[in-house]
Each structure stands twice: as structure tokens, then as C-alpha cells.
Amino acid sequence: MDLTTLATLVGILIAMLGVDTYLHPKDVILESTVVARSDDGVLNVALLRDILADEVERISSTPTIATKPAISVGRPGGLAVSIAESLHVPALAYALQSQFSNQPALIKLSMFTEGTTAKILVSGSGQWRADPFRQEIAQEPGESITSLARRASIVAMAQVDPYSTALNLMQRHATDLEFQDVESIISFALSRMPPQPINPERALFENLQGMIALFRRDLPGALALFQKASASNPDNAVPALNAAFVKMALDRDSEAVTDMEDLLRNRPPTDRILLATAHMTLGAAWIGIDVFDAAERNVVRSLELHATSSTAYELWSEIRRDQGDEAGARQHHEQALAVSGYFENYAELAALYFRMAWRNGEPVMRNPFHNPTTVNVRTRRN
């Protein structure tokens, strides 16, 4: 290819890559290969790719206040890249893409065997913050090939998006409280962050540490971590909401009232669900100090913002019951049950997992309402 043709091609690719940046915004690219098939033939490249995509989708679908990455299976597409590949100069297109758009993260799983042991090489690169990574995952005794592939996929996502991965694993283990992997990912992420006082990203992980302490019923430790997260990012309402939740559990309801009124007056969340949770938390705190009119007013406002909150309806039922209105209590409890299939809250919030403990001496108990589960049916590939 002569210099004139090359220069023309570069100009065309630069122009078209600008369009591709908008038409094909990819954050995470997934690839998979099987170098040597396992002895039982269970895992082939299509299945490895499906497991990787499924695990990444599962992690990325966790309800969160954080931005979720877009996921693509295969190499980054787009018309400019396709043209470059047809002319046998794909490296030029990828180099230009990295200069004129956000370079996507890459996850690649390569499965191979050594003797009778299956292994998966996890490799790839993150976006601007992460360095290229390579890690070999060996099959453990009694572990199936598919379980190995899922474990390798989680390791890969922990490299590329440690926050979403840690958040999802915390949700998965909310019942068995096996948080060792979550804490390992959090430690990995925090070790890479600069120590400046205000760090919104660090606040996300500190809030998760507070959630883990709350799951373990360490209320003072949870409160300290939520307050630490609030100091790292005063604009994030989530740790402030969680701190007020813990204060109610510690029978410090009047402090929770003050905190929530300050939040709503000076830093009201712009997110509808967070704003609804703030009013619901304030309502629960008012109940704790026997101010039922203010409590009911805030619960009603919470439901105006988030009409399918089973937790808010159940709290309203408790207000009615405490005032001797059994018919009203029963009505709101039935409403809580009726909308439970639509209820959704962010995975970072204590109110998703636990009941608000506004009664003096009441222990922290699990919330009977959770985000609804989904069913994914995949068609069989030929």
C-alpha cells in the first residue's frame, strides 16, 4: 500500500471512527477461546463464551446507583473497523480507535488443560484506570468445568469493574454471609486509589464495607464506615441514608430525624428512589420518637415518589396499627403484598435488606421484601 493510499485510508477511518464512537459505544469487550478441550468434552468455545457473557450480564444487572458498563461479546465492531479488517489493516483501526474514542476494556478467557487439570487463563485490559492483567485459574478438586468457567469470569470482572462485582457478590451472599471474596475485591480496589480526602469512588467501597458490617450485626462498625463513606463523598446520599438506618437501630431516632431533615433541606437526592428512601427513613425516625403525623406525611410523600415500595406501605401499616387503626393497618399491609412483585431498590441501601428498627430495643431484622427476580431463557444455538 503506497503512502497516498494509506493517508487517504487514515483520513477515512478517522472520520468514520468518530461516527462509530456514537453508534457503537462499548465499554467491555468479551472474547473466549478453548486451546485444548477438556477430557469430558463438556466445555467448548461457544459454551465458554456463553458462561462468560452470562456471568458478566448477571454482575452488570445488579440495581445500583453507579454507572453500568455496556457489554459486547466479540471484538469491537463498527463500519470503520470492518473496512479496516477487509483491507487487512485492523491494527490501524484499533490504534486510531484508542486515540479518538474511549478504549474499551477487554476480557479474554482461554481454556486449556495440563495433564488432567483444566485451567483458564484470564487476561485483558481495563479502561483508563486499569493496567493489563493476566491470571491463571486452576480447576479445584471436585470442581466442574462450568464452575471453573464461572469463577474465572468473576475474577475477570473483578479486574475490570471491581465495584459492580463486589456489589453483586454481596447480594448473592446476603443469606450465607460468605463475604470473603467481596472483602478481597474491596481491598484490591481500595489499594489502587489515591488517599485524597474526597474520593467518590472510594466512598462506594466504604459504603459496601459498612453494609457487610451491618450484615454481621456490627452496628457501631457499620455506622463508622457509613460516616466515613459520607465524608469521602458528601454528595452521595446512600451512606447518609444507611447511617440514619443504623442510628435508628441504635435507638438514636432523634439524630436520624435531624440527619434526614438536613439531607432533604440541603442536599436532596436527585434520584427518585433515593429521595423516596430519604422520606421513608425520616418517617420511620419520626415514629421512633412518637410523632405520628410527621411520620405518616413522609411515608405518603415517599409513596408519591416510588409508588411500588412494599417497604413504605408496610411502614404505613405499622403507623396505622400503632394508632389503633387495625383496618387501615390491614389495608396498607395488603397493598405492600400487592406491589411486592414490582418493588425495586438499589443494592447499596440497607433498607433493601433490613426492616427499619424504629422501636426501642428492636433488633435488626431482615426485610421480607426484595427486588423481584427475573427469568432468562436462552435459545439453543445450532
Please, which residues have CB within 8 angstroms of residue 340's CB and are 6 or more apart in sequence? 310, 369, 372
pLDDT at residue number 92: 39
Residue type, 274: L
Helix 145-160 and helix 162-172, axial crossing angle in degrees, nearest 10 = 130
> H/E/C letters for each residue in 33-53?
EECCCCCCCCCCHHHHHHHHH
Return residue ranges of the chain for CATH 3.30.160.100: 3-160
CATH code linked to domain 236-353:
1.25.40.10
pLDDT at residue number 377: 37
pLDDT at residue number 93: 43
φ, ψ of residue 179 to 5 degrees: the values are -105, 15
Domain 3-160 superfamily per CATH:
Ribosome hibernation promotion factor-like (3.30.160.100)
Return residue ranges of the chain for CATH 1.25.40.10: 236-353
pLDDT at residue number 128: 44
pTM of the entire predicted model: 0.79
> For the chain, which ranges sit under pLDDT 70?
1-30, 32, 34-43, 67-103, 127-130, 343, 358, 360-363, 368-382
φ, ψ of residue 178 to 5 degrees: the values are -90, 85
- d(C-alpha 319, C-alpha 323), whole Å: 6
- d(C-alpha 326, C-alpha 330), whole Å: 6
- d(C-alpha 86, C-alpha 43), whole Å: 31
pLDDT at residue number 381: 37
End-to-end CA distance of the chain: 40
pLDDT at residue number 277: 95
φ, ψ of residue 29 to 5 degrees: the values are -105, 130
| Residue keyed to cell 462468560 | 52
- d(C-alpha 34, C-alpha 73), whole Å: 16
Residue 328 burial (CB count, 10 A)? 15
pLDDT at residue number 82: 39
Please, which residues have CB within 8 angstroms of residue 322's CB and are 6 or more apart in sequence? 287, 292
